[in-house]
Amino acid sequence: MIVKEEFLNKLRRSFNLNLYEARIWTALLSRGISTAGELSEIGNVPRSRAYDVLESLEKKGFVVMKLGKPIKYLAVDPGEVVDRVKKNVKIKADEDTKKLDNLKGTPVLKELNTLHKDGIEFVEPTDLSGAIRGRHNIYTHLELMIKNAEKSVTLITSSKGLLRKFDALKPEMERLKKKGVAIKIAAPMTKETMPILKDLMKVAEVRDAKNVNARFCIVDDKDLVFMVLDDSAVHPTYDVGVWINTPFFASALNNLFGVAWKEMKSADKVTFKP
């Protein structure tokens, strides 16, 4: 049996398997039932490793060991395997989340905070910056910045970016609204953005930035993230943001934005031709 390496790599990523596990599993799927020796030959896996690999796959729910001599193995239906893997992933994620939650208020976290607080005093302002690659990572950093906002959040984005950010950041914005943080959002208003506008205006002041083509976020006049590419012309994986912690530049940019903000029309007053 010949299985392309590309297919094996997809299986490894999707099911969190090592190379030998992927080879043995696909070999067993092609036979339905087989011995470890046969699977070793078919999957091109050393015989000395075949039993360990099959034991690992059995624990993960990919195969079932059939009683008798010689010992044979049955392949579990792939659909059932997907359900089992999903269940195991959720269980592990819940366990890991619980462990992290239990760290709050413990001496371990206090010591880590002390190390960070003492260490940050030696960091030059120019070092508090970095490139963030991938839209998912950009949004994760944005969420962290906004979460720690004390006074203000200024956000300008594209119309599609507004839809994405509303979905990703709405809970934090609602929390900041109750906290009294001033939130300003500017984006080109389109028919696509209209359905979310009512809910968005409950947590932020929103204006139509139809003549402004930019994407950045400023928090408390000190933290700034700006995107260097047009989101309509780049795949999310290759989107790039630059983060800078600089009160001087962030405040200056916010003041410039304030001039443009005065010229923008309130989002609820934008109309579209039928």
Beta bridge mates, 130: 243
The closest of 86, 99, 23 to 57, measured between CA atoms, is 23
Whether 71 and 138 map to the same domain: the answer is: no
Task: Return the structure tokens found at 41.
Answer: 């030959």
Q: Which residue segment(s) compose the domain that 220 sits in?
A: 128-269
pLDDT at 116: 62
In a domain, 169, yes or no: yes
pLDDT of 3 higher than 80 = no
Over residues 90-136, the pLDDT tens digits come to: 888 888 888 888 887 788 777 777 766 665 455 455 555 788 999 98
Whether 75 and 160 map to the same domain: the answer is: no
Task: Return the structure tokens found at 109.
Answer: 């976290």
pLDDT at 157: 95
Q: Letter for the amino acid at 258?
A: G
Q: Which residue has the higher pLDDT, 160 or 271?
A: 160
pLDDT at 184: 95
The closest of 7, 61, 63, 11 to 33, measured between CA atoms, is 63
Q: Which range (61-65, 71-75, 127-131) has the least confidence?
A: 127-131
In a domain, 241, yes or no: yes
In a domain, 76, yes or no: yes
Whether 135 and 263 map to the same domain: the answer is: yes
The pLDDT mean for the chain works out to 87
**Range 55-70 average pLDDT:** 86
- Identify the CATH number of the domain in which residue 64 sits: 1.10.10.10
Q: Which range (22-26, 86-90, 268-272) has the least confidence?
A: 268-272
Band of pLDDT at residue 59, cut at 50, 70 and 90:
confident
**DSSP-derived secondary structure letter, 60:** H
Over residues 191-249, the pLDDT tens digits come to: 999 999 999 999 999 999 987 789 999 999 999 999 999 998 899 999 999 998 888 88
> CA 63 to CA 29: how far, in whole Å?
9
pLDDT at 152: 95
DSSP sequence for 130-194: EEEESHHHHHHHHHHHHHT-SSEEEEE--HHHHHHHHHHHHHHHHHHHHHT-EEEEEE---TTTH
pLDDT of 78 higher than 80 = yes
* Chain-centre distance for alpha carbon 59: 29
pLDDT of 1 higher than 60 = no
The closest of 161, 130, 166 to 240, measured between CA atoms, is 130
Alpha-carbon distance values, 45 to 57, 73, 80, 234, 262 (Å)? 14, 16, 25, 41, 69
Element (H, E) at 75: strand 72-75
**DSSP-derived secondary structure letter, 201:** T
- Identify the CATH number of the domain in which residue 164 sits: 3.30.870.10
The 10 Å Cβ neighbour count of residue 142 is 23
For the stretch 205-211, contacts whose Cβ atoms lie closer than 8 Å and that sit 24 or more positions apart, written own/partner, are 206/266, 206/267, 206/268, 207/261, 207/264, 207/265, 207/266, 207/267, 208/264, 208/265, 208/266, 208/267, 208/270, 209/156, 209/260, 209/264
